Amino acid sequence: MLIHSLFIIHILNIISSVLVVGQFMPQQRFLQTSVLDNDRVRWYILGGNYDTQSTSDLSEVLYLDLSKPFNTSLPPWNRDLSTIPFAIELSTACITSSSIFLIGGEMHDPTTQILSPLPPPVLTLNLTNYNWTIPNITGMNNSFLGRQTLQAVIDDSGKIFLNGGINFTDHIKLTGTIFGDMNILDTNTMTWSTLPIQSIPMTGYTATLIKTGEILYIGGESENTPPGTLIDINQIHKFNTKSLIWSTMPTNGDKISNRFRHSAVLTQNGTIIIFGGQSSTNYIQAPPDLVMLDTNVYPMKWRALNVSPTNAPPSLTCHSATLFDNFMIIAFGKITVASGGSGKLNSQIYVFDTLNNEWVTSTNRTSNSTNLNNKSTNIISNSQIPVVIILFIVIGLIIFFTIAGALIYRKYRNYIMEKKSTESFHDLLAT
């Protein structure tokens, strides 16, 4: 019986191990940057801050494996071995076929968390050998050094456009100089240029390249001395990447609050979906959380997306978002509050189906659909199949060893009883 019990305990330990093996769950963070690698079907998350302190920056590189559908309860996170040379936050990133360009940001020593006095403006990660290097760039604009909280955009020719950003002069009060210059990095020749014509100073905005070759700059701050000055979200600033000319366009539609540190993704039908952001330096929520800008009409039109709150994320700022297979994927960030205070950091990911305008828990469209009788289907997503198979195998092994243990125990008990019976018989003959 003891052997039988030990067998059961051992199998239960195996089950516990199976359920946690391969399920890397990254810690909470905000102020990270991200980039989508369509060639390798990965969404990279770089750096960030895990505890809202200046001494808690991360040098970690994560990626979400998008090669198969997944469930938000078990996202396929992986930790890349190519650690960033600096612990970094408030940076931006772009990707080419061979490299990730990590640009700007606040950099700290990854061990001591001491602020780097002369951070490199650009770091590159080679996607073949996964080595980090500081590239040699011709014509570097020295005023760009230390620039933070801007968003890079890369066009089809390999030119990276970097507008504005902030250079913090007080890291405690988080105040500094906001810029309005347009910097361009040609990744083919590794040359840097700064345009003489400037836009309004801006930081904390989103930048989206649309099919016309124009970059749309939405929201952000133009002055961050408390309480700060937010850019009118109803006045879209456009930059033409061909003519290198700035222009503005008014919008109409639903009333949308001004915000910064929000996210924006461009859908295949030409609409931009904005999520989250904050309306002040105190992480105050900017309602509504989920809005859409139709870029196909003139003037462009805002629409608040009133969708079911089921599976929806909390209001977030300083998060990351990307669009893959018509799903907007949101990760990490800081939870905003309605009226002052400081919200918690988020460690979860959320998925918005841009085709059906609903928050879902899986990137498997079949598992999100319903049949004609409005009954939920029970189709298991591909990412869960290996786990289910393993569980069935483990359960089968438990049944097998339970039966085998019972048979062995019964045989052993019969053997003992026979032995005792034989001994009793011999004792009887002896008397």
Strand order through the sheet with 327-331: 320-324, 327-331, 349-353, 358-360
- With tokens 């483990």, the residue in question is 394
Looking at the structure, do residues 9 and 99 belong to the same domain, yes or no? no
Q: Tens digit of pLDDT per residue, the chain (431 long)? A: 444 444 444 444 444 444 444 578 999 999 999 999 999 999 999 999 998 766 799 999 999 999 999 999 999 999 988 999 999 999 999 999 999 999 999 999 999 999 998 899 999 999 999 999 999 999 999 999 999 999 999 999 999 999 999 998 876 677 889 999 999 999 999 999 999 988 999 999 999 999 999 999 999 999 877 667 999 999 999 999 999 999 999 999 999 999 999 999 999 999 999 999 999 988 999 999 999 999 999 999 999 999 999 999 999 999 999 999 999 999 999 999 987 666 799 999 999 999 999 999 999 988 665 433 343 333 333 444 444 444 555 465 566 666 666 566 566 566 555 555 445 434 434 44
Q: 3 to each of 223, 396, 404, 419, how far by Cα in Å?
A: 73, 19, 11, 20
- Is there a single domain that holds both residue 153 and residue 206? yes
411 class by beta-carbon count within 10 Å (0-12 exposed, 13-18 middle, 19+ buried):
exposed
Number of domains in the chain: 2
Length reported for the chain:
431
Residues 1 and 104 in one domain: no
Residues 289, 401 within the same domain: no
Question: Helix/strand/coil (H, E, C) string of 247-281?
Answer: EEEEEEECCCCCCECCEEEECCCCEEEEECCECCC
- Is 317 inside a domain boundary? yes
Residue range(s) defining the domain that contains residue 293: 31-368
Phi-psi region for residue 270, left (φ > 0), alpha (ψ -120 to 50) or beta? left
| Spatial distance between the Cα atoms of 416 and 422, rounded to a whole number of angstroms | 10
The per-residue pLDDT for 378 is 34
* Residues 17 and 87 grouped into a single domain: no
233 in the same domain as 171: yes
For residue 233, is it within any domain? yes
**Judgement on whether residues 22 and 155 belong to the same structural domain of the protein:** no
Q: Which residue has the tokens 């940001």?
A: 105
Residue 151 covered by a domain: yes
Find the distance separating the first CA and the last CA of the chain, reported in whole Å: 35
Residue 374 lies in a domain: no
Do the beta carbons of residue 52 and residue 334 sit within 8 Å? yes
Q: Are residues 20 and 141 in the same domain?
A: no
288: preceding bond cis by omega (within 30 degrees)? yes
β-pair partners for 353: 327, 358
The Cα 261–Cα 320 span in angstroms is 10
Same domain? 17 vs 35? no
CATH code, 333: 2.120.10.80
In a domain, 373, yes or no: no
Position 383 scores a pLDDT of 40
Measure the CA–CA gap between 86 and 120, rounded to whole angstroms: 10
Whether residue 375 is contained in a domain is answered as no
pLDDT of residue 152: 99
Q: Give the model's pLDDT for residue 228.
A: 78
Residues 5 and 118 in one domain: no
- Per-residue tokens: 345: 């950091």
Rounded Cα–Cα distance for residues 167 and 95 (Å)? 24
Residue 329 is predicted with a pLDDT of: 99
Instruction: Provide the β-strand partners of residue 330.
Output: 321, 350
CA 36 to chain centre: 10
Per-residue pLDDT at 103: 99
**Which pLDDT score, from 0 to 100, does residue 55 have?**
74
Q: Are 406 and 4 in contact (CB under 8 A)?
A: yes
pTM of the model: 0.81
Answer yes or no: do 6 and 101 share one domain: no
By CB neighbour count within 10 A (0-12 exposed, 13-18 middle, 19+ buried), where does 37 fall? middle
